[in-house]
Structure 1
Amino acid sequence: MAAQRTIDVRAVGHVAERIYIHDSYVVTFGPDATSTNLWTLSNDGRRLDHLKILRTLEEPGGIAPIVDTERKLVAITGRSSGPPELHISDISSGDLVRTLMLYGSLDDVRMPYSSRLGHALVSTRVVDELPRVLVVDVAGNGWIAGVAYIPPDLRTSTDDRPDPQFGAEHITDDGDIICSYVAPPLPDGVDHFTLIRWNGTPNENTLPAVRADLSISLVDGDAVSVSCCLPFCDDALLVSACEAVQDAIDTAYSRWSVLRAIGLRALDTLWTAEPVWGVIRRLHHAVDAGVVLATGTQNAREDGGKNIPVSFIAAFDDKTGALRRLERVNHIAQGVSVRLCAATSDTVIVIFANGDMSMASLDDFLAHGLARDVDTHKVATTQLWKDDGKKVVHAALASTSVIVATQTNLVVASW
């Protein structure tokens, strides 16, 4: 076994309920939705320095902020009594540069961003209308640069039927737009989802250049949704789709995730990974190790009894999609819930609600999985603090450290 890494733990007197990390910048949201702060993380990951208090947002949205390091801008979605807003602030001064008024209701998922163009994709829904994807000018002086609509032959009436799913998945640095579409599930469910690409910024009359239908493989599966995407190499996109049995109770075998590598130009499938039970929620490409790391959650119960929450991390070969390692952490068996399960290019981290941490080098994880007690099979952990009453509210992972929010402070654990 490799030698244990030395962990440096430092506390910062600040209360937050959500943390987002982008390169050396850290954005925290306060528990009362009135405190938005910007921090910088030192190169060694050991020191968290407060940079600015950003303008108070009445109700920050649940979408990760955009941090444009080149232009020194941070964009944060917000909600108020009116339409949703996108607040764009200057990192250097902390001042609000402008607020973009959007419309409808935002999907709390992700906001793909092209740093080259300064454009973001925002999925939105309007009552009694089909969903659409806005191309928003974050870095310039414009507003909505374009709109991606569901192609005419896929549109269905919203009367007495659930809305279709229409999600923003990726914007290339050339301005091409990639979205996902899933038809309304009634009456007989669906058997596929569709990826759609537009060349350049679309408008209402712009037809897509390429479409690709991707079939559901789960036996009896009749529902699907795209759970996460990640740019992959120079000309591909990793797409994880959760396939499910629509009317089934959520159990260990009612839903699985299928990860695919998709070519950006032709939307062709380069490889399809072995399905993993549960929902993949985050992806990371460890280029030097040649693996794609996927983390997610599963309900491991066998029937309609008590929920059995499980977190998992899977490693797939980045050339073929072959599954190289799959580790699951059963919250009930462990005796404490998981707050973060994530990976960098050389480290796998699990943070538990009581402040315990499991850490493994990527090489050790691929060879042996997570370290476990030989008798109980519980994941072996290290305590970040001795206070039994302190609980983890939220956590986020940087390249060489993890930042943990508790009820009383921020804890930076670096290695």
Structure 2
Amino acid sequence: MPDLPFDTTDPRLAAAAWTRVAEPGDPVAGVLRARLGAGAALEWLGHVRRSGRSSPPVPPGGISPDDGVTARDWAKAVGRWLPRLDDLDIRRELGMLDAVGGRLLLPGDDEWPAALHDLAERAPAALWVRGNGRLDLPRPAAAVVGMRASTRYGETVAAQMAIELAERGVVVVSGGAYGIDAAAHRGALSADGLTWAVLAGGVDRLYPAGNTRLLEAIMDEGVVLAEPAPGSSPGRHRFLDRNRLIAALGRVCVVVEAGWRSGALNTARHAEDLLRPVAAVPGPVSSMASEGCHRLLRDHGAVCVTDAADVLELLAPSGEDLAPDRPVQPGLLDGLDPLGSRVLDALPARSAASLASLARAAGLSEREVRAGVGRLELSGHAQRSGSGWRRTPRPT
């Protein structure tokens, strides 16, 4: 293709170029690349430009109803893409990536996360990655997301949940933003766990700037990744398109806090579309920061989760043991037979009671009560007090 200064037959250059030509998640670009390959798709686009668009663009093979893309969709897409061919030289962006020690990943590379194939035509053409971790780990991952204007309650829940997930070997995926995202990342790091941050702009610009140190800490063992090429700004629409990657990378999506129209709800919708379990943390009914979570629970069938154990149950497929045994406060009657339970229920906690009084209270004979308190004394549940019996005080 003579009007582009790089070799479009090089699959890495061609795939990288599409991260500049098309916006993240562009399904028409995905259909075109799937049909022709990234290089041939660029060549066809260059042919359309050289032809002066004397007629509506028709891709090689024609317009197939199976693609779900109409002639109008093709025309609008080409109109979006053509201006970006001007001055396009993806080698410049690759140089920027090299300068920050990053790497480019393509579908089919060993490190490419298989979970992204679930995005079909909306899967990225390539990923720009920084960090010492890898994206092809055989570990489960959980997306933990929420609003930027979070509360102390939400940040505490997110951090503690991320700590416990990381301790069980789960990768915590989030968006690197302020609020719940940052709390989740920090929680995983504090447990020496792995966490991934998915950015809306280029990986050469760690955004938000206030989280630069956090993102650098993530890169020590984990990764920071993005779909837009280096130099791309994190526009609002790119945050929304970025959310589909967070949803796809996680085996489950957990929303900790979200307002009525929070971007975290957008991530939850992507997860739902991908058939990922969606979970939400309940909050105070008076808190605007939990309105979105309650909306998910009420209207969208989200699973109510209150701790990492709940999330681990959603993460574990059949036969996989991720969820720890929950600590359960022992009950007063645990381990007792029916007679012992009935006698213990009749025993006073403070003053002592005679066998006759206990028999009346329990509806048993004195002989049965005598046998019952004897067993309870041996098990440590009852003790003599003068001429009567009382419960053994429970340690506080």
TM bucket, shorter chain: under 0.3
Higher helix proportion: 2
TM-score when normalising by structure 1: 0.23
TM-score when normalising by structure 2: 0.24
Higher strand proportion: 1
